[in-house]
Amino acid sequence: MTDLFADNAYEWDQMPVPQAISAGVGRALHAHVPLSDALEVMDFGAGTGLVALALAPHVARVWAVDVSAAMLATLAAKPELQGKVQPVCQDILAEPLGRKFDLIVSAMAMHHVRDTDALIRRFSEHLRPGGRVALADLDSEDGSFHPAGMAGVYHSGFDREVLGALLVADGFMDVRFRTAMEVSKEGRRYPIFLVTATLAG
């Protein structure tokens, strides 16, 4: 599999848009998701660990899952994540991890997955009963957030009602959307939602 982020993984943390999004999503997670030192967490699409940095001190352990080995190498080099964050370079749609989590978080990764319904089903399979998801991504936009024709981008954001219905259909309840933040890019502002939901049963 081609690593689409190999060329910019080592400068990712200095880019203003990823910095702003990760900070805003991190604040929203702390505001709306109960965290405790008993929680085992999957960070899906963890990248260089910017969101994991916000979570790791407040949970038992974070499994940082991504298909980009270059991004995960940057994550693994951060001393503040040592002993709390486990990098996992794996496509969980093709190969499940074989373990269950209390919480799955994701920031700006879902639009890189072609089949959203299959991804949500896979999330449900990786959660313990009563486990939670907290997923952040773009609200529906006109396609201008990413450069035209950018490889690996399958969705121009998400309609909240449609995504909420998918979550319910795949066994989640108590689905709640909030605007986590708005990010400014090339003179335009793009809202980013945080949806939380609990796996029934």
What architecture is the 9-199 domain classified under in CATH? 3-Layer(aba) Sandwich (3.40)
Amino acid at 148: A
DSSP string, 99-119: --EEEEEEES-GGG-S-HHHH
**C-alpha to C-alpha distance for 91 and 97, rounded to whole angstroms:** 9
Query: What's the chain's length in residues?
Result: 201
- The C-alpha atoms of residue 26 and residue 136 are separated, in whole angstroms, by 10
Domain ranges, ordered by start, for the chain: 9-199
Rg (CA), the chain: 16
Distance, CA of 182 to chain centre: 16
One-letter amino acid of 187: G
Show Cβ contacts of residue 22 under 8 Å, excluding neighbours closer than 6 positions. Answer: 50, 51, 53, 54, 107
Q: What are phi and psi of 5, to 5 degrees?
A: -110, 10
How distant, in Å, are the alpha carbons of 19, 23, 83, 95, 149 from that of 76? 18, 19, 10, 22, 30
pLDDT digits (tens, 9 = 90+) for 64-122: 999 999 999 999 999 999 999 999 999 999 999 999 999 999 999 999 999 999 999 99
pLDDT digits (tens, 9 = 90+) for 130-185: 999 999 999 999 988 887 777 778 898 999 999 999 999 999 999 999 999 998 88
Categorize the per-residue pLDDT at 61 as very low, low, confident or very high, splitting at 50, 70 and 90. Answer: very high
